[in-house]
A and B are shown apart, each in its own frame.
Chain A
């Protein structure tokens, strides 16, 4: 103000802006103030490194640390105990000659098993939440952006036929699913042609309008929210063949509702804003408006819920493994190490405590980081402190 009054206003230094900060630098500065969130991030990075290194060390034909190597004479040794070198073959000797985290009831090295389990927890957490976020962003985006547009009978028929085809194929691969899929593609082509020519073909009734997109998708969200999620996941995982991919997919398919709701709410307000109108006026395609212009603006709350979702997915996987429905046995996960160890609760408590504390610390770090991120990304809360 003073500069303008004294006439220096046009000199370069008067217009000097505060040092440029990118969005990331700003976030980092905020994060450093929130000590719990920072601790969460640090633990998460350590966990990530441990999981990747663990995966590298425990896989392959002759792994550096073999998590499934049975040494019956060395069973239930407490943590840090020395291996009996004279009884073991050279390839059975653990690194450093000690069992860092003890051995289990079959004499398997708990340290190696924990490393192997870390990778399982990491991938289940990220892939399951990745699936959930993708479904959530797509469905939430559709319902927020196209809300009032009607769904046509033909569109429902296409999706229904495709769905039937896929389900049929997954049960018994035969000729029928192919017919169904071809029928659905054919119907799609006919509908597009019909729309272009504005003509009344024999399938004109397929253009009948049913519901609005919004009602359809919010209805789907409401239905999914009614089910008890852990029991539903348990049912599906138990009935499907045991595999880690099934667990990821099932957890992902049953936990996208939160992300969808967030994106929908954000989209409802975003689509009324000027930059979207401008993009539309420029003739930008809907697809590009949604994914280039609107999703980046709506993603913050989704990221927060995804971080917390990873914590939930890791807990769910551990719970499933604990009940015996997780990854098939020779492979170690934190849940099934604990589940095996519970029979030796009083003789070998480390078999319960090591995986339990590991799960607790990792889940806690994701929760703390997620909550910190929520505070940082929410400008309203920032002023209060």
Chain B
């Protein structure tokens, strides 16, 4: 166990180093300069450009910039080039906005996928199974932005409620209930959109896991000794089929940051995805690198957690 932890830690550290290099290199090796140091930009005098370059170490060779950048980042001193605000503070503020989307989206995904997948597996080959299979493909294939506009048209025309942004402006005088409902309406569509792909993939996965377990000998035995179907499916089969999903809690982590760029763009949701999009438009390198870097770290932590969870849940696995 401790040997596994140590080995895994060393591996992750090496990976982390290369992630640092790639996040940094991707941005800095691209041709062109950030707009603020562009000598052709008439708003900047030569002295201002020089000062800017010195302030952000842009006059140094790349490898020194690399060291300086990560030293500042780990010390929490990195600032955005656009407005000089600390990057980590900005990210945290936007993260708090993205968090409700993430939580509601994940809840929808997990609560919908399991019943759908289990039912599809139990009624394998039937009409329900075929319908949900086709629906799953449909949800995987639909472009998120198109689906978003279909939902917007539907909700706005049917319920006459505003859905863009985090809340409706000018409601501060209204009652608590009105404001709450307003928040819920604004939260609902982006969360559903964030969950669509997840529902499709997860429900398919639940179905295949369930099918695999239903073909096992002990399930046949349970059925042969005359147990009611309910008990066979939910007590004998489901419990064993659930094993791999415990580990997926770890893999949910990366969703905290990435993946919502288009949805947050459409709904003008001031979350991390939108911050990243704005940073790309403004060539705000510190933010771009940090977002890439942090989401890669979340993937690393997530896979590590899922390995650990697997070990805790499944005594057959020895690492």
Q: Which residues of A contact B (CB under 8 A)?
A: 36, 167, 170-171, 219, 222-223, 225-228, 230-232, 234-236, 238-241, 311, 315, 318-319, 322-323, 335, 338-339, 342, 345-346, 349, 352, 355-357, 359-360, 363-364, 367-368, 371
A363 closest partner in B (C-beta):
B141
B261 in contact with A170 (CB, 8 Å) = no
Q: How many Å lie between the Cα of A319 and that of B31 in the bound state?
A: 23
- Asked whether any CB of chain A lies closer than 8 Å to the CB of B276, the reply is yes
List residues 118-174 of chain B with CB under 8 A from any CB of chain A.
Answer: 134, 137-138, 140-146, 149-150, 152-153
Distance to closest chain B CB from A48 (angstroms): 17
The segment from B79-87, B180-188, B222-230, B295-303 that touches chain A is: B295-303
* Residue of B140, B257, B259 most packed against chain A (CB within 10 A): B140
A239 closest partner in B (C-beta):
B30
B262 in contact with A323 (CB, 8 Å) = yes
- Asked whether any CB of chain A lies closer than 8 Å to the CB of B270, the reply is no
A356 in contact with B150 (CB, 8 Å) = yes
- Asked whether any CB of chain A lies closer than 8 Å to the CB of B241, the reply is no
A-B contact count (CB 8 A): 127
Distance to closest chain B CB from A360 (angstroms): 5
Which secondary structure dominates where chain B touches chain A?
Answer: helix
A223 in contact with B18 (CB, 8 Å) = yes
CB pairs A–B below 8 angstroms (30 shown): A171-B29, A219-B18, A223-B22, A226-B15, A226-B299, A226-B300, A227-B23, A227-B295, A227-B299, A228-B254, A228-B258, A231-B291, A232-B292, A235-B27, A238-B280, A319-B145, A322-B145, A323-B262, A323-B277, A346-B153, A349-B153, A352-B149, A355-B146, A356-B146, A356-B150, A357-B146, A363-B143, A364-B141, A367-B140, A367-B141
B137 in contact with A364 (CB, 8 Å) = yes
Closest 3 interchain pairs by CB? A228-B258, A356-B146, A239-B30
A227 in contact with B292 (CB, 8 Å) = yes
Give the residues in chain A near B288, CB-CB below 8 Å: 235
Give the residues in chain B near A349, CB-CB below 8 Å: 153
B291 closest partner in A (C-beta):
A231
B31 in contact with A236 (CB, 8 Å) = no
B143 in contact with A318 (CB, 8 Å) = yes
Q: How many Å lie between the Cα of A335 and that of B146 in the bound state?
A: 9
Distance to closest chain A CB from B31 (angstroms): 6
B31 in contact with A227 (CB, 8 Å) = no
Interface residues on B, range: 35 or more
Distance to closest chain A CB from B177 (angstroms): 29
Give the residues in chain A near B19, CB-CB below 8 Å: 223, 226-227
Distance to closest chain A CB from B120 (angstroms): 15
Give the residues in chain B near A318, CB-CB below 8 Å: 143, 145
Q: Which of A36, A225, A338 contacts B134 (CB 8 A)?
A: A36
- Asked whether any CB of chain A lies closer than 8 Å to the CB of B75, the reply is no
A320 closest partner in B (C-beta):
B262
Give the residues in chain A near B273, CB-CB below 8 Å: 231
Q: How many Å lie between the Cα of A339 and that of B144 in the bound state?
A: 12
B137 in contact with A360 (CB, 8 Å) = no
Distance to closest chain B CB from A177 (angstroms): 13
Q: How many Å lie between the Cα of A342 and that of B261 in the bound state?
A: 17
Distance to closest chain A CB from B158 (angstroms): 14
Give the residues in chain B near A367, CB-CB below 8 Å: 137, 140-141
B258 in contact with A319 (CB, 8 Å) = no
Apart from A227-B299, A342-B145, list 19 A-B contacts with CB within 8 A.
A227-B295, A230-B261, A231-B291, A234-B277, A235-B280, A239-B280, A318-B143, A318-B145, A319-B143, A323-B262, A345-B152, A345-B153, A352-B146, A355-B146, A360-B141, A360-B142, A363-B141, A363-B142, A368-B137
Give the residues in chain A near B3, CB-CB below 8 Å: none
